[in-house]
Amino acid sequence: MKLFPFRKCFTAFSLLFFITVAANAQTVAWDSTYRPGKYVELVKKFKDDPKSKKDIVFLGNSITAGTDWAKLLDLPQAKNRGISGDITFGVLERLQDVIDGKPAKIFILIGINDISRNIPDSIILRNYKKMITSIRKGSRKTQIYFNTLLPVNSSFEKFKNHYGKDEHILYLNEEIRKFTSKNVTVVDLYPNFTDENQHLRAALTKDGLHLLPAGYQVWADFLKRSGYLN
């Protein structure tokens, strides 16, 4: 009977130990310093490109980089500032160059690579807000258009780090939709690309993540129909 308190204490200690181990196991490391291989090269190229206050800048990662926006939209002033593999920290790092050009409009689509790299939703959201604040501070007349994240389609089995994380996409999209209160135009792309299972429509993607020309056409038609390019 004298050993009972010791056993009780030991059991409590063991429970605490396993809870701590489990909590630590769920803590996933993430890196804000990652930059794609061609990041420096492309940033320099973008800086060297002529700028105009009439520019319409499309800013983001490979999904933005994957088309010729000027040709797609028949708008010579449309500028592609997408870098394949980029994350929100990379966009923040190169954002000042875009701001310095004081473009007419900036369309932002970024975050899916952050999700794939296990960057917390709260950090991604914080970076979104930093982008908005920086643009507002540096170029007051620039209109900000923030795109909701596109869905993915795991049936292609190619970008496994991007799959199985739909709850993060849904959460961030709900938060992006609240940006209307910040005098930001929200471009809700997500519903235009989903199938009946809320996955990226197979006919619009080549690999479950990136878009085919048909996908970009859906995007372009939505922008025109919604009057975002006027």
Model confidence at 114: pLDDT above 50: yes
- CA dihedral sign, ordered 143, 70, 169, 37: negative
E strands of 9-136, at which residues? Answer: 56-60, 78-82, 105-109
Give the global pTM.
0.87
Q: Where do the domains of the chain lie?
A: 38-226
Inter-axis angle of helices 39-48 and 88-100, to 10 degrees? 10
pLDDT classification of 5: cutoffs 50, 70, 90: low
Please give the single-letter amino acid code of residue 108.
I
Amino acid at 228: Y
Which pLDDT score, from 0 to 100, does residue 160 have? 82
Question: What 8-state DSSP symbol labels residue 110?
Answer: -
Report the interhelical angle of 166-177 vs 121-138 (nearest 10°).
30
On the question of pLDDT at 17 being above 90, the answer is no
State the helix-helix crossing angle for 88-100 and 121-138, rounded to 10 degrees.
10
Q: What is the pLDDT of residue 157?
A: 82
β-bridge pairing 185-187 and 143-147? parallel
Provide the 10 A C-beta neighbour count for residue 81. 26
- CATH for 38-226 is 3.40.50.1110
pLDDT tier, 7 (very low <50, low <70, confident <90, very high otherwise): low
Average pLDDT (106-130) is: 98
Q: Are 207 and 150 in contact (CB under 8 A)?
A: no
- pLDDT(208) > 50: yes
